[in-house]
Amino acid sequence: MREVGEQSYHYGVIGRAIELIDAGGEDLGLTELAAHMNMSPAHFQRVFSAWVGVSPKRYQQYLRLGHAKSLLQERFSTLETAHAVGLSGSGRLHDLFLRWEAMSPGEYARKGAGLTIRWGWFDSPFGLALVMGTEKGICGLAFAAETGAEPTLADMRARWPNADYVEDPMMLRPLAEAIFAQKGEAALHMMGAPLQIKVWEALLRIPSGHVTTYSELARAIDNPRAVRAVGTAVGKNPMSWLIPCHRVLRKGGDIGGYHWGVPVKRAMLAFEAARDDRASEKEADFPAVTGEAEETGRQTA
C-alpha cells in the first residue's frame, strides 16, 4: 500500500510554491509565502531547509520561469568537454555510482518477452515514485505527482508489453533508497532502441546542476541533424532523474516539456541548482593550502 512520506509532502509544498510564484508571487516574503501555504513561517522555513537546504526566498530564484534561461547562460554543458574531463551523470554532489548495461537490438524488438520486471512505489524528493527493475538492475523510474499513480504505472508497463510484471517493493527497496539518498551503487538496465541508448548515454554525461540543449545532444551522438529524433528519445527516457533528461532545455532557454509534468522538471532543476550552490559554498569555506604546507602535501601524497 502506498504511503505519502516526508519527501513527498515536501514536494507537495514545492509544487504549491511553483503555482504561487507563477501566479505573480515572485516577490512575496517569507511570512506572506507561508500564509499562502497555510503554514507558519517557521514550519515553512523548515520544510524548505529539509528539502533542499536553502531559504524559501533564495529558492524562489530557482523556481522562477526565467531560471532556465539563466541556467543555459551560466551552466551550459558541452558534452564532449564534460566527457573529456571525466564528468558523469552522478555529478559531484553525491556518492551514487551508476553502472549500466544495454539490451541488444534483438532483445528490444521482443518488447520485454521473457523478462520479469519487478515494480514498487516509493517516497521521493519529487513525490510518489515508481521504481522498476530486472535481475540486471533498474529499468524504470517514473514520478506520479502530476500524472497520477495508475496512469504512470500503465505508461511504464506499455513500454515493455510482453514482459511479466511482479509487484515486489521489498526487492527494489535497497536500490530505491540508494537512488534517493544519492549514495551507494545502482545498476541500470537500459532497454531501448540503439539511438535511444546513445542519447541516454549522452544524458549521463551532463553534470548535476548543469543543462544542455537538444541540438547539443544531437552533436554529442555525431548526428547533428537528428534533433527531432533526439527529442523523441529524451521523451522516452524510462529512468527519469537517474538518466537526467530534466537537464535538457530548448535552445532559446525555454524549459520545454517533461513526460512526468513540467512542475516536476522545474523542481528537479531547482533542487540541483540549490544543492550545487550549497556545495560550492562549503568548498569555499575550506582554507586554501599554500606555501610550505602545499609543498608538504605534494610530498606526502
| Residues designated as active site | 245
H/E element, 119: strand 116-122
Strand 129-134 versus strand 137-143 pairing type: antiparallel
Cα separation, 25 vs 32, whole angstroms? 9
Cα separation, 147 vs 261, whole angstroms? 7
Strand 116-122 versus strand 129-134 pairing type: antiparallel
For 11, 111, 182, 233, 235, the CA distances from 193, given in Å and listed in that order, are 33, 11, 28, 9, 13
Cα separation, 41 vs 52, whole angstroms? 17
Q: How many CA atoms, within 13 angstroms, populate the side-chain half-sphere of residue 183?
A: 2
C-alpha cell at 134: 530486472
Beta-ladder partners of 116: 164
| Cβ(54)–Cβ(93) below 8 Å | no
Which are the contacts of 200, defined by CB distance < 8 A and separation ≥ 6? 190, 192, 233, 237, 239, 243
DSSP 161-182: TTSEEEE-HHHHHHHHHHHHHT
Cα separation, 296 vs 272, whole angstroms? 36
